[in-house]
Amino acid sequence: MFPQTVFPDTALVDPHGQLVIGGCNTLELAEEYGTPVYILDEATLRARCRSFLQEFQQRYSATTVDYAAKAYINPALARIFQEEGLGLDVVSGGELAIAQSVGFPLEKVTFHGNNKSREELAQAVEHGVGIVAVDSFYELDLLDRIAADARKVQEILIRVSPGVDPHTHVHTTTGILDTKFGFSIQTGHAAEAVRRAVAASNLKLLGLHFHLGSPIFELEPYRLAIDLVLRFAAGLREEGLELEMFSPGGGFAIAYTRDEEPPAIGDYAEAIVSTMTSTCDELGMAQPRLIIEPGRSIIGPAGVALYRIGAIKDIPGVRKYVSVDGGMGDNIRPALYQAVYEVVPAGKMDQDPTEKVTIAGKYCESGDLLASDIMLPEMEAGDVLAIPAVGAYCPSMASNYNLNPRPPIVLVNNGQSRLIRRRESYQDMMLCDVV
């Protein structure tokens, strides 16, 4: 059975049992661009942007949707997000440089991160980044001085850690007490940060931000944290905190496997907007502008990786390893987070699964497995495998481990394909080396 829910909207199986995405045959894409290759379905990508805007703005018109660039960004994609009316969240000078390279309006950019450097903050202030989400006392002082030197007043949010567990992987949990991110509300650090920000002469405090982690399959952590942070804000009104802006971050889940059913975008919107508006009403606070920061949930479902099978090793009674030409260098998530993916035979979609196999990458690590103990039809060298839901945190976390070139990225739409990042060459990988 074709697991449609984890594939892009346009994915289908043609009469020859071959996988088609965006009107393009995946075997032909694998032939034309080589493997491994990452395919992004433009229709799905744009539809996700529009859904976020629509679902939130129809419930609460003063909502801004910022795409979290760390999920994956490059210049062509930055253009698409701009066309769709999204803002951008960046977490480094590098991501900011991508935005600048295509003339993305920097007043629509927010700069996040727990340890932004002096150079990065200066780059942000100098070029007019809209908002800096301040994450530490060190940064608060540094940014105030940088803004003073530039004779500017920088608008900021204070990132707080509300102490709410979103029940996701420990490596992607960010809003609990024991975290490197934000100012803890529990310890009193968040209140102290607000006081210092209000007093800083070259900073203008617009409001509060938090981000619980990712992916969050439940609505309750959002409700709990929003309620808690708004009550915290209400308690600081006397100290000069006017909550003009409020962001509960991103972290919205997507389906990676056929049996996962994450909440719909509208469900997240309903939970967030209704909690925010009712709590503000109860506390007698004006309704702030709402900022939503989806990353994974926008680009994740649009991506499909194509690999070609090489060596197959059957260890009788133990395991059958099917090796592909990519692996942890282009998708570190199974090794890093024990992430589980669906794998389908792109050219044999009409055949019944008959064998239990493990999909191994080509990297020199035993942990380089893309999927364990999955069912496939009988596969042979040269066959193409497709892994869906890889648009987020795969190309963006890709490395040159073992000096394998990172794969190309191809945008597909209406039967047309377009390279938006070419495959790296050996020369590219040696570009920074000095002999």
Ligand X SMILES: *Cc1c(COP(=O)(O)O)cnc(C)c1O
Nearest one of 117, 113, 107, 116 to 69, comparing CA atoms? 113
Smallest gap from Cβ 150 to ligand X, in A, equals 24
* Chain-centroid distance, C-alpha 277: 27
* Whole-number Cα distances in Å, 426 to 159, 404, 406: 41, 8, 10
> CA–CA separation, 396 vs 77, rounded Å?
13
State which of residues 22, 87, 166, 251 lies at the interface with ligand X (CB under 6 A): 251
Residue 8 or 345 having the CB closest to ligand X: 8
Smallest gap from Cβ 196 to ligand X, in A, equals 21
State which of residues 211, 223, 348, 421 lies at the interface with ligand X (CB under 6 A): 211
Does residue 70 interact with ligand X by CB under 6 A? yes
Does residue 250 interact with ligand X by CB under 6 A? yes
Question: Look-up: residue for tokens 């991501």?
Answer: 95
Residue 209 or 223 having the CB closest to ligand X: 209
- 364 flagged as catalytic: yes
Does residue 68 interact with ligand X by CB under 6 A? yes
State which of residues 84, 155, 293, 368 lies at the interface with ligand X (CB under 6 A): 293
Residue 295 or 347 having the CB closest to ligand X: 295
Residue 29 or 86 having the CB closest to ligand X: 86
Of these residues, 49, 364, 394, 432, which one is catalytic? 364
> CA–CA separation, 161 vs 261, rounded Å?
27
State which of residues 20, 37, 49, 71 lies at the interface with ligand X (CB under 6 A): 71
Structural contact between residues 377 and 419, judged by C-beta atoms closer than 8 angstroms: no
Residue 5 or 92 having the CB closest to ligand X: 92
Count CB atoms within 10 A of the CB of residue 85. 12
Structural contact between residues 157 and 210, judged by C-beta atoms closer than 8 angstroms: no
Smallest gap from Cβ 247 to ligand X, in A, equals 8
Strands in 63-198 per DSSP E: 63-68, 87-90, 109-111, 131-134, 154-161, 183-184
**Cβ-based neighbours of 355, under 8 Å, separated by 6 or more:** 320, 375, 376, 377, 378, 379
- Copy the structure tokens of residue 92: 């480094």
Residue 13 or 228 having the CB closest to ligand X: 228
State which of residues 249, 303, 361, 408 lies at the interface with ligand X (CB under 6 A): 249
Smallest gap from Cβ 337 to ligand X, in A, equals 12
Q: Which stretch binds ligand X (CB under 6 A): 22-30, 290-298, 364-372, 409-417?
A: 290-298
Does residue 214 interact with ligand X by CB under 6 A? yes
Structural contact between residues 35 and 384, judged by C-beta atoms closer than 8 angstroms: yes
Q: Which stretch binds ligand X (CB under 6 A): 160-168, 262-270, 289-297, 362-370?
A: 289-297
Does residue 297 interact with ligand X by CB under 6 A? yes
* Total of chain residues touching ligand X, rule CB under 6 A: 18
Smallest gap from Cβ 83 to ligand X, in A, equals 20
Residue 38 or 363 having the CB closest to ligand X: 38
Smallest gap from Cβ 98 to ligand X, in A, equals 16
**Cβ-based neighbours of 331, under 8 Å, separated by 6 or more:** 305, 370, 387, 390, 394, 398
Nearest one of 208, 202, 203, 206 to 183, comparing CA atoms? 208
Torsion of CA 227, 264, 26, 397, to 10 degrees: 10
Q: What residues act catalytically?
A: 364
Contact footprint for ligand X (CB under 6 A): 68, 70-71, 89, 112, 211, 214-215, 249-252, 293-297, 392
